[in-house]
Structure 1
């Protein structure tokens, strides 16, 4: 059995880095007030903040775990710079940084409660910044990204083109050093392969639900999806959303004038959805809906079918609950949109949301394809954003 590994950080970039390396950590946010912590130099500040985060999470545990706390600061001329917080501060920061070199420090603190060991380390990477124009700075600040990241920049997001080079560990600039973490884990007798989630079933538990929105494009992507769905939905109708998740898309549909009810298998995700859609969500399997025949004006499934081993039972259930002339609006080709954006080849094993498959399956249940649109996803490491197709089937 894999050891319990906890990430004491709300950073989507750190979570994404670990996931990309095969580790699915449990996420527990520390709640440490970073603004009121000082140290003798920027590197020590990063290490101290990481330690405080890890210790705060450990204090709240009821069983053993290996806990990683991280914090990053950018050093310029001996001064530590964290998250700017406001556009004016971010703008001034970039005017200072452009054409110059800084050092990104990331503090790491690993606490293993079983062995009662605490290991504190610091990784530092030199970052070379492009000589941005005022117009480029204004445009970047307007995106909002530099306001919420240490040093007011990213290398894995919109800020990537503005970093000309790094000396040291690239992952450290993103938020944590994977090679350093591997060495720290070995000191507490945990090997990297032990933490790989290969073969473990993925579950949408609270560790996923607590960071789901921010790691999946946040409100911007949810609003884009809802506006696209709104184009294909009957105006002001009653909508049943399958795999409602945290309710982030459903809430946007409500804001556009729809009455939304949602179902999901994950109780952890539903706890978040209940806040956004109070009284309108329930635990249910999309292939066994607690809805009588012909009761729904519309059914929506955003980012669901690509996760299934077999999408036909869900499509059959959708056809059962839709009224005549009711519509089913769903994303399609999601896996391939993301893979192409990342420069990867198609995956033949994930075809349950392929349009050809959906159209053929839907036709067997009296659903005909009669509309489509697209919406943009978040920018990927390549600098491009995938475009997600959204299609409409009508019940005849």
Structure 2
């Protein structure tokens, strides 16, 4: 591999949950899991008690994901249920249901149960545990409840509230593990991992990524079509942007596309992991670039009007975590614009083998994964690249997803 090195060693730890909060909790603890959504229909599952329901749902999720694997892994399934007056409450689904629940809960307390199921296919072990935390709710006014429901957050979380988001001010006291209320008990997970022979620090190993050296970064633009392709890409992206907002570019690279977007009147901030690339980007976008992983953005929830990713997803072994992170930082009605359907030729050119599963920028895969996180495909265009061996310029697809 000329000019590049592969750093880090991946740990095959799988989170069988679509929950952005659980993913964020693991990332905050230094763990970058592979996310595989189970597809279990939670609405048709019953159990003898709310706690047993949470544990059963976690087990079914973990088992469903394990059944889909072709290689060994350690899989964690989780599910949370709020027990209130002996009744199990999951996601309310509608504003009316969320409003009724919050009114009945105000000034009172409930128990948040989170079931954990850890399956290690190497050790051939399945562990099932339950963590329970008592939550005391503030005496909310009707106006506060209406405003909170209007944000949409209570509709998609167990018990109609969060402690780590907009609902945090409405929780007065927690008796037990805070992270369990968020959706995953870190101390419990640590103990479960130890039972299958995995120490917590083993999960701190970074995922593989490509790092460019100075020579590769210096010639990167010329080997990728130079200003001509950057201008074409920026023009196409600009046509899909909502004017007046802030644009976040993932894997900003040398900043060549970002600078073109700025020239078209956009305010652009960029993140990248490569130190060598960022040196070039800081010249083009002074004061507006920083080092960060696209799957762990240092941005609060719902702060971005637009997120752009040009020729990023096809490089990944799994695009799920980045799509989840994009959905987290986008405001309602914000947009995610990305290139799609690039072949494995780029992986060969970088000295890497082809993806042994599905191409991570395949449109059908992106549409399905985006929908899980509230992102709906609503526009598309193409832009020309530089001519190859003929006078014909290849066309690159560009798609836009909107945050619902």
Same fold (TM over 0.5): yes
TM-score (norm 1): 0.59
**Native 8 Å contact 2:77 2:116 kept in 1:** yes
**Native 8 Å contact 1:9 1:28 kept in 2:** yes
Change (3 A) 1:293 1:66: closer
What residue in structure 2 maps to residue 15 of structure 1?
A: 23
Query: Could you tell me how far apart the structure 2 residues matched to 1:191 and 1:37 are?
Result: 33
SS of the residue 1:83 aligns to: coil
TM-score (norm 2): 0.58
Q: CA deviation at 1:17?
A: 0.7
**Native 8 Å contact 1:351 1:357 kept in 2:** no
What residue in structure 2 maps to residue 298 of structure 1?
A: 235
Q: CA deviation at 1:198?
A: 3.8
Q: Confirm whether residue 156 of structure 1 aligns to residue 164 of structure 2.
A: yes
Query: Could you tell me how far apart the structure 2 residues matched to 1:164 and 1:379 are?
Result: 26
Give matches, 1:178-197, under 5 Å: 178-197=186-205
Deviation string 1:177-224 (CA, Å, 9 cap, x unpaired) is 001001100111111111113474289xxxxxxxxxxxxxxxxxxxxx
Query: Could you tell me how far apart the structure 2 residues matched to 1:22 and 1:197 are?
Result: 9
Q: CA deviation at 1:298?
A: 2.7
Query: Could you tell me how far apart the structure 1 residues matched to 2:73 and 2:201 are?
Result: 17
Query: Could you tell me how far apart the structure 2 residues matched to 1:82 and 1:68 are?
Result: 19
1:201 to 196, 199, 209: 209
Q: Confirm whether residue 63 of structure 1 aligns to residue 71 of structure 2.
A: yes
What residue in structure 2 maps to residue 85 of structure 1?
A: 93
Query: Could you tell me how far apart the structure 1 residues matched to 2:57 and 2:115 are?
Result: 7
2:224 to 288, 295, 302: 288
Deviation string 1:47-103 (CA, Å, 9 cap, x unpaired) is 000000000111111110000000000001111100000111101100110000110
Query: Could you tell me how far apart the structure 1 residues matched to 2:230 and 2:114 are?
Result: 56
2:112 to 101, 104, 117: 104
Number of residue equivalences: 268
**Native 8 Å contact 1:300 1:328 kept in 2:** no
Q: CA deviation at 1:303?
A: 2.3
**Native 8 Å contact 2:249 2:258 kept in 1:** no
What residue in structure 1 maps to residue 179 of structure 2?
A: 171
What residue in structure 1 maps to residue 355 of structure 2?
A: none
Query: Could you tell me how far apart the structure 2 residues matched to 1:379 and 1:292 are?
Result: 29
CA RMSD of aligned residues (A): 3.7
Change (3 A) 1:315 1:54: closer
Query: Could you tell me how far apart the structure 2 residues matched to 1:183 and 1:5 are?
Result: 15
Give matches, 1:255-274, under 5 Å: none
**Native 8 Å contact 2:32 2:207 kept in 1:** no
Query: Could you tell me how far apart the structure 1 residues matched to 2:161 and 2:17 are?
Result: 18
Change (3 A) 1:199 1:37: closer
Q: Confirm whether residue 147 of structure 1 aligns to residue 155 of structure 2.
A: yes
What residue in structure 1 maps to residue 214 of structure 2?
A: none
Q: CA deviation at 1:358?
A: 2.2
Query: Could you tell me how far apart the structure 1 residues matched to 2:287 and 2:54 are?
Result: 55
Q: Confirm whether residue 378 of structure 1 aligns to residue 302 of structure 2.
A: yes
**Native 8 Å contact 1:30 1:54 kept in 2:** yes
Deviation string 1:297-325 (CA, Å, 9 cap, x unpaired) is 836484227x45643x5568x59xxxxxx
Query: Could you tell me how far apart the structure 1 residues matched to 2:252 and 2:150 are?
Result: 38
SS of the residue 2:136 aligns to: strand
**Native 8 Å contact 2:221 2:254 kept in 1:** no
Query: Could you tell me how far apart the structure 1 residues matched to 2:330 and 2:39 are?
Result: 33
Structure with the bigger RCO (C-alpha within 8 Å, sep 6+) is 2
SS of the residue 2:132 aligns to: strand
Query: Could you tell me how far apart the structure 2 residues matched to 1:143 and 1:202 are?
Result: 38
Query: Could you tell me how far apart the structure 2 residues matched to 1:32 and 1:310 are?
Result: 42
